[in-house]
Amino acid sequence: MKISSSAIEAVRAHGSEGYPDEICGILVGPRGGKTATEARRARNIVVERARDRYEIDPRDHIRIQREADANGHDIIGYYHSHPDHPAQASRFDTERAWAGYVYVIVSVAKGEPVDANAFVAERDGGPFRPEALEIV
């Protein structure tokens, strides 16, 4: 997967700002392409387990999809953070994944982003396979 340097920096900044809770958002890019050029923030509607769970607010998802459509863009994938944990997909992440999208996970340790990895689900609900993350 290709991601612009500004988009990955936006993901890292969002993870740092949201620490110690998980943050989440949507990766958007030109229609028909596989390059994420924007990272759009979404609200995490999980409250009680926000340190280790996320769920994108459906209203944010719809708004971002509509804005992407209006600008000739597609949703390329999704991102979230793992506070004080590695940038590896959890079982929870895998079970909720949709095929055809890239999932970027950023590890945030003590408020600082330290690593990011990408994954693709072979089918809805996984399994995940690692995806090379190329910053362009």
What's at 70, amino acid-wise?
A
SS3 assignment, position 70: helix
Domain around 12: 2-135
User: For residue 59, what are the contacts with CB-CB under 8 A and spacing of at least 6?
Assistant: none
Q: Which of 126, 58, 134, 61 is nearest to 96 (CA)?
A: 126
End-to-end CA distance of the chain: 10
Between the CA atoms of 32, 119, 9 and 77, what dihedral angle is there, to the nearest 10 degrees? Answer: 40
pLDDT of residue 51: 82
Instruction: Give the torsion sign (CA, 82, 83, 87, 92).
Output: negative
pLDDT in tens, 15-73: 999 999 999 999 999 998 889 999 999 999 997 887 888 999 999 999 999 999 999 99
Q: What is the CATH number of the domain that holds 27?
A: 3.40.140.10
Task: Bin 84: left if φ > 0, else alpha if -120 < ψ < 50, else beta.
Answer: left
pLDDT in tens, 78-123: 999 999 999 999 999 999 999 999 999 999 999 999 999 999 999 9
> Tokens 């994944």 belong to which residue?
97
- The pTM of the full predicted model, rounded to 2 decimals, is 0.95
Question: Into how many domains does the chain fold?
Answer: 1
pLDDT of residue 47: 79
